[in-house]
Amino acid sequence: MSEDTGFSLTMKQVEDFEFEVRFDGEHLPVMTLDEPQPIGHDRGPSASRLLAAAVGNCLSASLLFCLRKSRVEVAGIETRVRGEMRRNDRGRLRIGRLDVEITLDAPAADSKRITRCLDLFEDFCVVTASVRKGIDVAVTVVDGAGAVLHREPPAADEEAG
């Protein structure tokens, strides 16, 4: 079994802070991201909401996967994520906390198998584990001709020169 170890997406500005997102699968729908008013037009979720959705979805899917592997009949899962915005010491807004509540509709008779999954599922959630530990992000800005205007962290050859 081959393991998919990468992914990509492309974003294109539509208008103001509205962006069209195309994921690397042809079958995947185009998504609109936008900032809430008054900055944007609220035509789609903001990046902060999308990150919260990714965390909630990954946790829910990880729990469901474990429960199904353990042969627990799950009638449904409902997940609610609440994000809290905070300012850092420089006054910049950051996602300071995500509270995830997963409501599980499963029979109490399977409590031992459910408990086992509850002990395991968070460790298998790629997104939540990545967010909790921090993710290295490399940023490069180029102009229309492809000249590098900004790179963080700098490339090794840029640091030496």
Domain boundaries, the chain: 45-136
- Predicted pLDDT of residue 124: 94
d(CA 20, CA 3): 28
pTM, entire model: 0.87
The stretch 94-116 carries a mean pLDDT of: 91
Instruction: Read off the tokens for 50.
Output: 């999308």
CATH 3.40.109.10 fits 45-136, yes or no: no
User: Could you read off the pLDDT of 69-85 as tens digits, one per residue?
Assistant: 999 999 999 999 999 99
